[in-house]
Amino acid sequence: MRKGSGGRRHGRGRDRWPDRAGGRGGERRDAAFPGRASAGPSGRPAGRSTGRHPGSVTGTFRANPRGFGFVIPDKPDEAGDLYVPDGGTLDAMTGDRVVARVLKRGVRGGRMLLHGRITEVLERARDTFVGEMVRSGDMWLVVPQGRAMTQPIVVDDVKPGDAAPDAKVVVQIVRFQRGPEPAHGVIVERLGPAGPIDVETLGIVREHGLPDRFGEDVLAEASAATLAFDEDAAAGVARDREDFTGSTVVTIDPPDARDYDDAVGVEERDDGWTLAVHIADVSAFVPEGGALDREARLRGNSVYFPRKVLPMLPEALSNGACSLQPGRPRLVKSVLVDYDRDAEVVGARFANGVIRSARRLTYVEAQGVIDGRTGGYPPEVVATLGGLDRLAHAIERRRRREGMLHLDLPEVGLVLSEDGRVLDAAPPDTSWTHTLIEMCMVEANEAVARNLDPLGVPFLRRVHPEADAHSTAQLSAFLAAAGVKFPKHPDRRALQALLDRVAGTPLSNAVNLAFLKTLKRAEYSPADVGHFALASRHYCHFTSPIRRYPDLHVHRLLDAHLRGRLADAARPAGEVEALGRHCTATERRADEAEGDLRMLLVLTAIADRIRAGEAIEPEDGVITGVASFGMFVQSSHWLIEGVLRLDALPHDWWEADPARGVVVGARSRERFRLGDRVTVTPARVDLPARRLEWAIESH
């Protein structure tokens, strides 16, 4: 996992992988699992009821590009999401809070089938959209990008020479669509011609409402904090800080990283180890309640795009005074964990400290040293990496025994030209040192949460609930369709055994994706529910305060505890819970924005080749889902997902059976099943909607 200009290190702590949403670019995955064609966007069964659905439902609307949608109730019940057919959506758009009247539409299998009709839009999720200008007769239209709004917007304020086809703009709605009458809007920002990476990135920033500028008060406060930091004083160690400058610690990061927020070291003994994890002490530079703090809290996290970063903190701090640059004295929060020879934790302590990193290493460089390529490296750095390697292996073995889950999902990085266009995809670096750092960060996060837990103060935990019965049943249905046996009531070990069993087989990717969709998403909350995927009873985020606000929140509580002022720093549970909801939302917004831009860049490259009439090499794909209209196929090269429609299959009448995860030819009896490999080529790209359709080459 990368950080810096090319991406963030999601894997630092290996607790973000349950959040990843799988492929994008196909139609709404109402059939992402076999038998899920009637499921709503939340994954709960839609349109079925035991008769206890109220006469009206208030909730959030999710639109489908084909005209229908779902209302996700504010208060979920067993009736699930309410299906709203085409013609019943009023002028609601994705994300709007609405009221819908519940209507009956018959009985199936002894259960009442329901649908809804939206009667009122209570609150608009947004009124501005990003899109491309197109000319239609005497009118100018904006074709919105993304899935929130699917119909063109009429723009009435365009003057001759004021717009050009394919220009990317931000439009504000002044009258929403009603029935056949289109929405009308005005242009509020012109971003530039569609295509260049800076314009497309800015379009994604505006589409997702991401803050991309710091106010003068924020920049001034960051500058003052940086200027006030006295490296000479830090080198002499402040009275209230522990001196770690004599210990050998290193940073290990991607080659394009600019901010280094964690350094690691180790002491190896006959009876075990002491792991030292030192994290940039951002709390020493960002006082609570100031302009910097308010802005960091608003942003919630940094956002990483190809060639552009929207940092949570101004670069004067994130790349300067808070960055653990080699050879420079830096303020840190330190976690020192003691282990026996089996890597079982036997103790831990915490400190405000000062370090001086001995070396800045990339993952590849650190791996080379561990593998014996030690030329040019000081003996103490070589010894430290050797000790970290042995300890990390022992920690991973212990955590696997305890039930930590491990998903095997492929990843690729984008190869960009000088002007930011996608040239190709390439596998990322897979050095063991990624896992080494992940193990160190997981242990530090867990140690801090374990320390804060008995103090009786609400704090933001990183929680990951166990999959519920409904999701497990969906996974069982998927596996049955794929011909894989699975226990009816699996525990964590049975889940990992499943993943180990399909590893290296054609089913691996499809099963891992299905398993990922079974899991609930990790989130921030003071609730003491543990972290299912990590098999951790107490867990929080502590190791990335430069780019995650929850970590800064935890740093402040730990600091108050170390100084004997915890009661003064404590916040009411309701306030902490609200902060958790906010940080979870900003994290997911960032994930969606990063994924949307990646998808858009890849699809733009494919569309350019199609328009130019260039020959596109067929590529391998894996069938990851079956729906009534066709199959979802994930490209093995680009790792993007598209639709292979039934009418694109050759020489037969094809019938889809989503419940069994199979497509069958009526005459030939040829079958396509979940996990099957197929050879496909791109047939059609819808850039505004970010959808891809495949043509099949062979099966």
CA-CA-CA-CA torsion sign (534, 540, 546, 548): positive
What domains are there in the chain, each with its CATH number? 4-13+212-465+521-596 (no CATH), 46-123 (2.40.50.140), 128-207 (2.40.50.640), 469-518 (no CATH), 615-698 (2.40.50.140)
CA-CA-CA-CA torsion sign (235, 236, 240, 246): positive
Mean predicted confidence (pLDDT) in 322-348: 96
pLDDT greater than 60 at residue 43: no
pLDDT of residue 29: 35
| Reported confidence tier of residue 148, pLDDT bands at 50, 70, 90 | confident
User: 341 CB contacts (<8 Å, ≥6 apart)?
Assistant: 271, 272, 394
Spatial CA neighbour of 682 closest among 617, 624, 632, 628:
617
Q: How far apart are CA 213 and CA 291, in angstroms?
A: 14
Model pLDDT for residues 506-557, shown as the tens digit of each residue? 788 888 888 887 888 899 999 999 999 999 999 999 999 999 999 999 999 9
**φ and ψ at residue 402, rounded to 5 degrees:** -75, -10
Q: Is 47 in contact with 38 (CB distance < 8 Å)?
A: yes
Model pLDDT for residues 190-220, shown as the tens digit of each residue? 999 999 999 999 999 999 999 999 999 999 9
Q: How far apart are CA 636 and CA 679, in angstroms?
A: 10
Spatial CA neighbour of 203 closest among 67, 298, 308:
308
Mean pLDDT of the residues in the chain: 87
pLDDT of residue 62: 84
Q: How distant, in Å, are the alpha carbons of 64, 67, 88, 115 from that of 85?
A: 10, 7, 6, 7
> pTM value?
0.87
pLDDT greater than 50 at residue 27: no
Between 58-62, 105-109, 236-240, 571-575, the lowest mean confidence (pLDDT) is in 105-109
Task: State the helix-helix crossing angle for 469-481 and 508-518, rounded to 10 degrees.
Answer: 160
pLDDT of residue 468: 80
User: 32 CB contacts (<8 Å, ≥6 apart)?
Assistant: 22, 517, 624, 625, 632
Which alpha helices (H) appear in 284-355, and where do they start and end?
291-299, 315-316
Model pLDDT for residues 87-109, shown as the tens digit of each residue? 888 878 888 999 999 997 655 55
Between 180-189, 341-350, 429-438, 478-487, the lowest mean confidence (pLDDT) is in 478-487
Q: Scan for tokens 């266009």, then name that residue.
A: 421
Spatial CA neighbour of 655 closest among 634, 672, 674:
672
pLDDT greater than 50 at residue 50: no
Q: How far apart are CA 353 and CA 243, in angstroms?
A: 6
Q: How far apart are CA 63 and CA 46, in angstroms?
A: 14
Q: Is 604 in contact with 490 (CB distance < 8 Å)?
A: no
Q: How far apart are CA 269 and CA 483, in angstroms?
A: 49
**φ and ψ at residue 119, rounded to 5 degrees:** -110, -20
Instruction: Write the Ramachandran bin of 106: left for phi over 0, alpha for psi from -120 to 50, otherwise beta.
Output: left
pLDDT greater than 90 at residue 7: no
Number of C-beta neighbours around residue 321 at 10 A:
23
Q: How far apart are CA 18 and CA 238, in angstroms?
A: 41
Between 221-235, 339-353, 524-538, the lowest mean confidence (pLDDT) is in 221-235
Distance of CA 164 to the CA centre of its chain: 35
* Tokens found for residue 175: 């009258």
* Tokens found for residue 338: 């003691």
Model pLDDT for residues 458-477, shown as the tens digit of each residue? 999 999 998 888 778 878 88
Number of C-beta neighbours around residue 685 at 10 A:
22
pLDDT greater than 60 at residue 35: no
| Reported confidence tier of residue 165, pLDDT bands at 50, 70, 90 | confident
Strands 128-136 and 139-144: antiparallel
User: 647 CB contacts (<8 Å, ≥6 apart)?
Assistant: none
Q: Scan for tokens 């019943």, then name that residue.
A: 88
Q: How far apart are CA 260 and CA 301, in angstroms?
A: 16
